[in-house]
Structure 1
């Protein structure tokens, strides 16, 4: 595996490449903020970037399911959502031994909006006593043989 400084750069370049691919294909306006570097609690290098824009939550979710993120080194981990920090949702994975995190603040607009549903149809004055009165087809008749 390459030295530490080059692995941090490679992990960032990989994340940016996949991000640009996902957002351009889906025509999303969410953008990555500036990258910050540091150390994670386990002592490994850590890269963090905030995702901004009206569709930040959707972009992070699509990024998580992207097939373009190739993790091929021992110890690499697939992206997982992290909600441990109140008020934000993060997507964390390990690539080349570097922890990478994309996060967005939790806002009411980042929550999924329910789809409107059509009201139930009611039929006034129709008899509903028999099955054939409710269904668009009549009962099937069978003939008995003696």
Structure 2
């Protein structure tokens, strides 16, 4: 049974990393999962936990949770549960699910800002469509904007 537990932990971690890497790559996000810890829940079920770190960690985790149609985390094993938000631990927000008999938890501290603030864009100077003299100039010679004369036949 210990080999099965180790295999389930490895499968859950690799599935999560694969889904996370695809998610962050396709959306050009820089938040990462640098370190995993393995513990057990009070009932003895294995638990994988990892902090999402880097710029926009909260934003990346929220998008990851919303995009489970493209990056599914659970298989079809009995007892698998879809990802849900957990805010029971003060000071952090976690996305938790169960896959293959293993609880998996990705979390970020509540002190993380949602999105990195972009640099302010300088205002563009106002541009007038009329020249300084108030008259519109003629179109350049290479553009065919002249009036065409039509002849009518009676």
Could you tell me the TM-score, scaled by structure 2's length? Answer: 0.68
Q: CA deviation at 1:33?
A: 2.2
Q: Find the partner of 1:81 among 79, 85, 99.
A: 85
Query: Is this contact kept in 2: 1:35–1:49, CA < 8 A?
Result: yes
Q: Secondary structure at the match of 2:38?
A: strand
Q: Find the partner of 1:99 among 99, 103, 106.
A: 103
Question: Which structure has the bigger radius of gyration?
Answer: 2
Q: 1:23-62 residue pairs with structure 2 within 5 A?
A: 23-62=24-63
Segments of 4+ moved more than 3 angstroms:
none
Structure 1 vs Structure 2 CA RMSD: 1.7
Q: Which 5+ residue runs of structure 2 have no aligned equivalent?
A: 118-154
Distance in 2 between the 1:25 and 1:44 partners?
Answer: 33
Q: Secondary structure at the match of 2:49?
A: strand
Distance in 2 between the 1:55 and 1:37 partners?
Answer: 25
Deviations 1:65-105 (A, max 9, x none): 22221421110000001001111100000000000000001
Could you tell me the TM-score, scaled by structure 1's length? Answer: 0.71
Q: CA deviation at 1:108?
A: 5.9
